[in-house]
Structure 1
Amino acid sequence: MQQNNPLVFESSGWEVDLAQRELRARGLTVPLGSRAFEIVEILVQSGGELVTKDDLMRRVWPGLNVEDNTIQVHISAIRKALGPDRGMLKTDSGRGYRLLGDWVIRQENQPRHVEPVNRPRAAIHPFLTNVPVAASALIGREMAVQHLCDLVSAYRVVTLTGPGGIGKTVLASEVARRVFPTVESDVLFVELVSLSDPDLVPSTVASVLNLQLRGGDEMSPESVARVVGDRKVLLVLDNCEHVIDAAARMAEALVRLCPHATVLATSREVLRIEGEYVYRVPALDVPAQQVEAEGNVLEHSSVQLFIARTRSLQADFGPQAEKLPLIAAICRQLDGIPLAIEFAAARAASLGIQQVAGRLDDRFALLTGGRRTALPRHQTLRATLDWSYELLPETERRLLRQLAIFPAGFTLEAATAIANQTESWVALGISNLVSKSLVALDGTEAAQRWRLLETVRAYSLEKLAESGEHEQVVRRLARFCVALFAPFATDDQLQSAIDELGRYRREVDNLRAALNWAFSPGGDAALGVELAAIASDFWVALSLVAESSEWADTALAQIGDAAGTRSEMVLRCSLGFALIYTKGMSAHARDTLTRALALARQFQDFDYQQRLTCGLWLFSARSMALNDALAFAREYEEVTRGRDLQFRATAAWLVGIPQTYLAEHNEASERLQWAVGQYPVVRRRIDMMRLGADVRASALAHDTVNLMSQGRLDAASRASQSAIEEARATNQPFVLCVALAWAAGFVSLGLGELDRAREYGEELVDHAYKHALRPFYAAGLCVRGSLLARRGQPEAGVGPLRSGLAEMQEAVYLLFYPFFRAELAAALGAMGRVDDGLCEIEASLRFAIETDYRWFVPEMLRTKGDLLALRDTDHPSVIEDMYRRSMQQANDQKALYWELSAATSLAGHLQRQRKDAEALAVLAPVYGRMTEGFAAPSVKRAKSILDQLS
């Protein structure tokens, strides 16, 4: 709109002054960027009619291709300016916008006709800039630059904020260079970093703008702004934080008094003035903690910057694939801060990547040597942080030092506890540190949480140590953790703690920090013992069984005056269970559980009596002391007699499992199925910690042995699938390993379903290895060896079988031991080493008889018959007798499937002797009793022989 047509549009206290190019609310100017004002101008002149997006883009950005998000930035700026009346700007989705309201036009001596806005873009005079040419390519910031270019045309004041070294100045300079050809204004860069006196800010700005103030005018923000007047200028105020109040007053005066002035500021602290848009400069993106493919690592901007800067100092630098994980780790530890990465790249060019990666713990000594032309505070990482730290008042320095004690970030509750101040005082301090870019929000509005960048935290920890406050602060952290994790040690609060596990999971590194200090030479072992006991169930809930063992062991080694107390009982219980799962059935595990049970009886602690009874039951069952296991199960029945259904269901599970391996299949199956049906699912998460197992998943897995033995093969297959599904739902590694081991070993191998055995077996190996569950890893190795042998590669299978069996023996995890020793015997026979195979099966049979491991004896006898048949020196009647013994043993156990297996081998043996009628008489009656499982390979083999015989 031309200056000689001073139209003012008015509606409900709002004014759009086209001559002054101002948006006013009740007479007060509301800051609005130049192009945002042009949008308002077009909309207000449309009289409430729809203005399409295409029309706005054509008229506000003539000749330029702009994207939808550009116009969205400007629409957001207008709505922000309208404040509570933002509803006046209405969006017609997908079409355009209209400005609502009863707008009245005020004008003097002018026709009422309103000319449309369509300004020419040619500049009347050349505009000026002093922004320096870029020294190097800007990496990883293209989206940020584009967004900021939109912001400076939508808002009058845009502040780039962030911690030292994040790249605020470089980014602001690039934005200034990028917008200069299009903004039709001067673009001038004002460096404030060298100012020691805030009163010099106005004169510095005046000097850069080349202003001539009238004689006698006091040098003030207002006097400078009045001289700027209507001049079109984008002013970059760089490094405002140390003169923040003066810089804010200067920016505020320019925006208030100069309708064509825009301010782009960089500061570690926001200006806090009317109309300011704060843009928090993000770090460069860094590779995730988990291992990534080479191509993925190279896609991250932090890695690209590291490589580019290293290459600029070492022309032939080209990172080999094996070096990329180290580069990724360096960038991750430096939080993606560009300045720190540039320092690291400079050191890598001279020392090598390995040296830099290994010395980042001493990063402040290592990361020096920035560019000679850089500001002094940007020539070492320590100087960069010294600058920010020295600008803080002492109260905020102290709070920053104390907050560094949290490696995992902190809540307001946690910060208040370690600061030993009121919550309101701490909240204000955190807010101030956030505004100064030293603390970052690391949560949500609903669950607020903050953290220090790792580099800021390392610096602040040094300051904490220098202050002499470290011991008292970390002691407060330990006390806070005692209070925080207390619900895990309280029976009536345990369920709610598990339900809120995500909240506690976020504190795990803080808990580790407290425990590490407590058990260190200068720590407080008594406090550590208390904390380790309180948190023992937390580690199990988090599926960190190995870590549970480590902390319990550490605490018991420094038990001191807590010996004989409830803390010792809890720690021994935790350690005993953890040892079973991670190391196996060692004498140390048994003694630990036995001592804990004695303490539980002494304290008459029902909860721990049942836990520890179950622990010793588990130890006995897995070490093949089946009668001992049954005795502990009966003891549990007695301890829980008359209690709720969950205890009766648990007792049925405990009794049913040893009965399974004692070959009492019918009664065992009934008990286990009753336990699955009656056990209340709502209790499973608590009971997994108390009992060291999941009743439902475990009962289903063990019952597959009964179902398969009884010939209910389809039911066994379904039960194994259900056990895995139940186990996955618990999210507990040891529970899933139980289900996978039974499904891969007893069921899939037992039925000859080799593809399924391989699928479950490999998952078992991977899962057990990942979670350091040694006994289950051994079972997985045995599955792998059995599959190789059964698929015609017995030589390859013997190695994994022997390794797995040796691991089982060492861990005294023996439930699978006879089963896989029979597999080894068969593999040796397939290799032609029949006598070695017979030695293995004989040893396996002796072991089974000694331990009452009765359920698999029929199959071991059948395997012995197969080996004798391979030797070809024994009389056929000896082989036949072995098969008949197997059939009889299976029949006595009501184990139809093992009877069918033996009958199939015997029928084949008789068939080879041309005794077809006798073979048919042996196999047909047993096969006729089968009611399901006809798709199983072993059953199909029996049917094939019957078809030949008939």
Structure 2
Amino acid sequence: MTDELVQRRPRSFAFGPFVLVPERQLLLKDEAPVRIGGRALDLLTVLVERPGELVSKRELLSRAWPSTVVEEANLKVNMAALRRVLGEGSGAEPYIATVVGRGYRFVAPVQFSYAAGPLADTAAASSPGHNLPVGIVRIVGRADAIDAVGRELAESRLVSIVGPGGIGKTTVALAVAERAVGSCRNGVWLVDLAPLKDPSLVPNAVATAVGLAAHSANMLATLCAFLRGREMLLVLDSCEHLVESAAVCASRILADVEGVKILATSREPLRVKGERVRRLAALGTPPQTRGLTADEALRFPAIELFVDRATQRLESFRLDDAGAPVVAQICRRLDGLALAIELAATRVDAFDVVELLAQLDDRLGLLAGHRGGVERHRTLAATIDWSYALLSDSERTIMRRLAIFAGGFSLASACAVADGEGLSRAQVVEDVASLVAKSLLATEPRDVGMEYRLLDTTRAYVLERLAVAGETADARLRHARHLLDLARQAGADAGALPRDEWLGRYAARIDDLRSALAWTFDGMADVALGLALTVAAIPFWEQLSLLEECRVAVALALKRRFDAHRDERQARALWLALGASLLYTRGPLPEVKSALTKALEIAERTNDAGSQLECLRGLSEYELWSGNTRAALSASDAMRSIAAASGDAKAVENADAQAGSALRYLGDLAASQRHLERIVEHPPCRGWRSAASRFEFDQHLAARGSLASVLWLRGFPDQAVAMAARQREEAEASHHAVPLCSAIIHTTVGIALFVGDLDDADRLLRFIEHYATEHRLTVWRAMATCMRGRWLLDRGEPFQLVPFREAVAELYDHGLRMRYPSYLANLGEGLAQLGDIDGAHASIDRALALSQSSGQVWGMSEILRMKGNLLRLEGKPGSLHDAADRYAESLRWAREQGALSWELRTAVSLVELWREAGGNAQAEAILSDAWRRFEEGYETRDLRRARTLLTDIGSGP
């Protein structure tokens, strides 16, 4: 084998039951993959490369953090995590020895070899199909419970693990979920509900965990639609404070989605139909007997857990026969609560076990005269209180300040919130490491670094201590200022990082952002900070698809009397965000234009070209939706001028999309097609400016829809059908309710009706009618009703006048004039079917007038044909020539626009008219000429109809 081939093969290091393959970022235990944080894996690699040698702290830091200066505490925390992964503790032979003050040495025998085969693609390893945390502690005494829950989950779709705080519910749930990884086709997903305060956000939390980003007024419905057809396990952790909302969410998912199972943890059952409840018992402790030996004591899970955690804290700790009864008494006093035992065990470095028992007896004895509350809850509270009292002053101060975080946080965040006022950054780093060692801070290795968090019970206790100390306001201020810096950095990174990487780094911070915003505006705590934080949060809301949340937040900020604090940059950002979010959630209301105009005025006054482009894009969209097509085109032209001057390729793309749609409605189909194809045929531009709020839907998606309609109008039905299908697929993949409604109603159903595929149109309409109703998208439901009316007319079924009229009135009230002339024309045809000829004429005449006045002349040819059909139906003297005149006018509009499909449709009507009167050679020639210019779509309704007419006189193909 050549040296080159050997170098391409991955190295393999075997020790004990483990095999490490560094080049594959893979650690195996008994041939099964072990999940381990990236930093811990780097540290392990350095050590096993040089077994038996001392590796200095400096070298370990430089290998694990090659381009970052980090504190030594990071090394301590990650080394502790590594030891836990390797299963050290409880008397097990160590793999890693600490050389105090110098570094570490790998002391187990290591066998080196090259793994079979060349380097494998590690993409699968980086996409594990779950979001479970890395297990960094050995699970003690829960094997039976884990097995039992696993069996119940195999038989039932909902299992709830129930028990008091600190008993180990989450530990068991994660172990069960870990076993399920690989057996669920679409993954295993942990949903941590602990940080949530708002019960309505439970479906949002589930959506975020499973990777669903969606704009919807009914997130639970969107979530269920997303989950249909998938097989996965959802772990709803810490449901107790949101138990009703969690129950509603779980019940709906289980009812709507066959392939999803749910594992919940809570202090009480969800009380959902079909729920199996597994009440978790305390860890077993020895009975109070004389002569208990160490070997006998270690047979009990509570003692085993104590010894395991004590050994991790103090490597020299050993349980002997003399200490066994004392440790047993400690575990009994702590009611077998896992968390309480862990907290007590971490103090073996400060007290021997006899002193530890005395300390606990003093603290727990304070509860003897107290009433109320579950005994185990009070035991846990007292244990936390005791652990807290044993901390140094700086540790207690840091812990109080860190309790302000709603969820996890990085070491940098901890320093930002906790240092100052007598505490240096170095002190914070050292004390954070100490709090981790004492099990008062939980850790979770992540690719971007170690994440820390306070357990829920501990955090609740420390928040009380924060309030007693009178430090809440100061901690809130520190926290809000840090979140401002973090949100600004997130905005800057959004344009530089891939979205998945951005979400991995920042998405979990949304709960802290909400908390900080609520505090700044609560009682006007800090107006200036609240405004700055709202502006900085706008990119967060966009990236996380929280459109409605953004609208509410910016509206709240603008309603306050903040004139003394507001600067123009902030005001522009807020008005722009309000206008954009209002447009997509409520439609083109007058408030939308007012907000966007105010933002544009500020952008022009401050010569901010980027913001001018964003405002103009919003205004162009607003005018298009409002039916003022010429104004929409004018805004897009202004965008292009500014974009060209500034070299902003993304803005040029946006201008093309807006212009392409506007030109289509204006009837300039060739120009519209050129603009739209420039977008569709080229990859999207990457990056966006964090200073502005876009909330824009994918311009490629919108362009595909517009282009599909243009292709049909210009005589390319097959291409139109394919483009519409492509747009719909992309809209479904986006999981955004409004783009999906637009794709189906405006494009897919429209094209299906144009080509005469009435069965497909009916199927799509049934879906969107239900979807729009379920998501409370009333305007889109009204548009679906209008399209249903067109379907009934094409099908020859009775026209439903009342719902159609109500839908048209609703659209008018919401300011939507886009396609409105077409709806009026269809109403006229429906009235004619019902015998109201005068009403039909009035409605169609109004449609013609509105088309010309608004510039929406793309449908003039068809509306004129419908007018001709009505005159023909009326049958009054001279109606034949009047109808022929309308058809001639329709043909003129179609030819001027290059709308070959309208031309063919009108030619068919013209031939049918004259054949009723004996025939007309010129009409026949017009139809034949239109037919011959088609190159595809011969099986569509209009072309089949034309072919039949031409064949009847022998001039067909």
Q: TM-score range by the shorter chain?
A: 0.5 to 0.7
SS of 1:254's equivalent? coil
Which structure has more RCO (C-alpha within 8 Å, separation ≥ 6)? 2
Q: CA deviation at 1:822?
A: 2.8
Q: Aligned match of 1:555 in 554, 557, 561?
A: 557
Q: Which runs of 5+ in 1 are unaligned?
A: 1-13, 15-72, 94-137, 148-160, 172-204, 212-223, 275-371
Kept after mapping to 2: 8 A contact 1:169/1:238? no
1:660 aligns with 2:660: no
Closer, same or farther: CA 541–76 of 1 in aligned 2, 3 Å: closer
Q: Aligned match of 2:384 in 367, 385, 388?
A: 388
Q: How does 1:80-479 map to 2 (within 5 A)?
A: 81=93, 83=95, 141=145, 143=147, 164-166=166-168, 208-211=288-291, 234-235=299-300, 252-254=318-320, 266=336, 267-268=338-339, 269-270=341-342, 271=345, 378-379=374-375, 381=377, 384-393=380-389, 398-420=397-419, 425-426=427-428, 439-441=441-443, 444=446, 447-452=449-454, 454=456, 457-458=459-460, 460-479=462-481
Residue 184 of structure 2 corresponds to none
Residue 928 of structure 1 corresponds to 932
Q: CA deviation at 1:565?
A: 1.6
Residues of 2 paired with 1:412 and 1:846: CA distance? Answer: 66
Residue deviations 1:340-363, cap 9 Å, x none? xxxxxxxxxxxxxxxxxxxxxxxx
Kept after mapping to 2: 8 A contact 1:917/1:949? no
Kept after mapping to 2: 8 A contact 1:583/1:774? no
Q: Aligned match of 1:576 in 579, 604, 621?
A: 579
Q: Aligned match of 2:628 in 625, 635, 640?
A: 625
Kept after mapping to 1: 8 A contact 2:517/2:533? yes
Q: Aligned match of 1:945 in 934, 942, 949?
A: 949
Aligned residues between the structures: 671
**One-letter amino acid of the structure 2 residue matched with residue 210 of structure 1:** R
Residue 823 of structure 1 corresponds to 826
Q: CA deviation at 1:512?
A: 1.2
Kept after mapping to 1: 8 A contact 2:491/2:690? no
Residues of 2 paired with 1:756 and 1:913: CA distance? Answer: 36
Residue 363 of structure 1 corresponds to none
Residues of 1 paired with 2:689 and 2:473: CA distance? Answer: 37
Kept after mapping to 2: 8 A contact 1:656/1:669? yes
Kept after mapping to 2: 8 A contact 1:416/1:423? yes
Q: CA deviation at 1:484?
A: 0.6
Residues of 2 paired with 1:170 and 1:848: CA distance? Answer: 66
Residues of 1 paired with 2:904 and 2:168: CA distance? Answer: 74
Residue 672 of structure 1 corresponds to 676
Residue deviations 1:727-747, cap 9 Å, x none? 567676555554444323542
Q: CA deviation at 1:892?
A: 2.6
Residue 513 of structure 2 corresponds to 511
**One-letter amino acid of the structure 2 residue matched with residue 924 of structure 1:** S
State the Cα RMSD in Å: 4.9
Residues of 2 paired with 1:766 and 1:424: CA distance? Answer: 59
Closer, same or farther: CA 493–262 of 1 in aligned 2, 3 Å: closer
Residues of 1 paired with 2:807 and 2:147: CA distance? Answer: 54
Residues of 2 paired with 1:206 and 1:741: CA distance? Answer: 69
Closer, same or farther: CA 560–664 of 1 in aligned 2, 3 Å: same
Residue 864 of structure 1 corresponds to 867
Kept after mapping to 2: 8 A contact 1:727/1:739? yes
Residue 806 of structure 1 corresponds to 809
Residue 713 of structure 1 corresponds to 717
**One-letter amino acid of the structure 2 residue matched with residue 509 of structure 1:** D
Residue 543 of structure 2 corresponds to 541
TM-score computed with the length of structure 1 as normaliser: 0.61
Residues of 1 paired with 2:448 and 2:467: CA distance? Answer: 34
Kept after mapping to 1: 8 A contact 2:596/2:619? yes
SS of 1:392's equivalent? helix
Residue deviations 1:528-586, cap 9 Å, x none? 11111122233222222222222211112223224452110111111111122122222
**One-letter amino acid of the structure 1 residue matched with residue 861 of structure 2:** P
SS of 1:391's equivalent? helix
Q: CA deviation at 1:890?
A: 1.4
Q: Which protein is bigger by CA-based radius of gyration?
A: 1
Q: CA deviation at 1:762?
A: 5.9
Q: How does 1:698-847 map to 2 (within 5 A)?
A: 698-725=702-729, 734-758=738-762, 761=765, 775-788=779-792, 790-791=794-795, 793-795=797-799, 797-798=800-801, 801-847=804-850
Closer, same or farther: CA 541–237 of 1 in aligned 2, 3 Å: closer
Residues of 1 paired with 2:719 and 2:756: CA distance? Answer: 16
Kept after mapping to 2: 8 A contact 1:235/1:263? no
Q: CA deviation at 1:862?
A: 1.9
Kept after mapping to 1: 8 A contact 2:663/2:669? yes
Greater CA deviation, 662-671 or 876-885?
Answer: 876-885
Residues of 2 paired with 1:627 and 1:207: CA distance? Answer: 86
Residues of 2 paired with 1:163 and 1:386: CA distance? Answer: 13
SS of 1:448's equivalent? strand
Q: CA deviation at 1:483?
A: 0.3
Kept after mapping to 2: 8 A contact 1:646/1:678? no
Residue deviations 1:83-132, cap 9 Å, x none? 467668999x9xxxxxxxxxxxxxxxxxxxxxxxxxxxxxxxxxxxxxxx
SS of 2:299's equivalent? strand
Q: CA deviation at 1:609?
A: 1.3
Kept after mapping to 2: 8 A contact 1:822/1:844? yes
Kept after mapping to 1: 8 A contact 2:851/2:857? yes
Residue 615 of structure 1 corresponds to 618
Q: CA deviation at 1:858?
A: 1.0
Kept after mapping to 1: 8 A contact 2:640/2:652? yes
Q: CA deviation at 1:634?
A: 2.4
Residue deviations 1:421-452, cap 9 Å, x none? 55665556556666666654466465433445
Closer, same or farther: CA 165–598 of 1 in aligned 2, 3 Å: same
Residues of 1 paired with 2:905 and 2:680: CA distance? Answer: 29
Kept after mapping to 1: 8 A contact 2:821/2:850? yes
SS of 2:93's equivalent? helix
Residues of 1 paired with 2:682 and 2:302: CA distance? Answer: 72
SS of 2:720's equivalent? helix
SS of 2:450's equivalent? coil
Greater CA deviation, 425-434 or 238-247?
Answer: 238-247
SS of 2:505's equivalent? helix
Kept after mapping to 2: 8 A contact 1:441/1:451? yes
**One-letter amino acid of the structure 1 residue matched with residue 416 of structure 2:** A
Closer, same or farther: CA 384–947 of 1 in aligned 2, 3 Å: farther
Residue 494 of structure 1 corresponds to 495
Closer, same or farther: CA 480–895 of 1 in aligned 2, 3 Å: same
Q: Which runs of 5+ in 2 are unaligned?
A: 1-14, 16-84, 96-105, 116-141, 152-162, 174-284, 349-367
Q: CA deviation at 1:620?
A: 1.8
Residue deviations 1:881-926, cap 9 Å, x none? 3333322321232211111111223333444555486764453222
Kept after mapping to 1: 8 A contact 2:824/2:847? yes
**One-letter amino acid of the structure 1 residue matched with residue 506 of structure 2:** Y
Q: CA deviation at 1:625?
A: 1.6
Kept after mapping to 2: 8 A contact 1:614/1:691? no
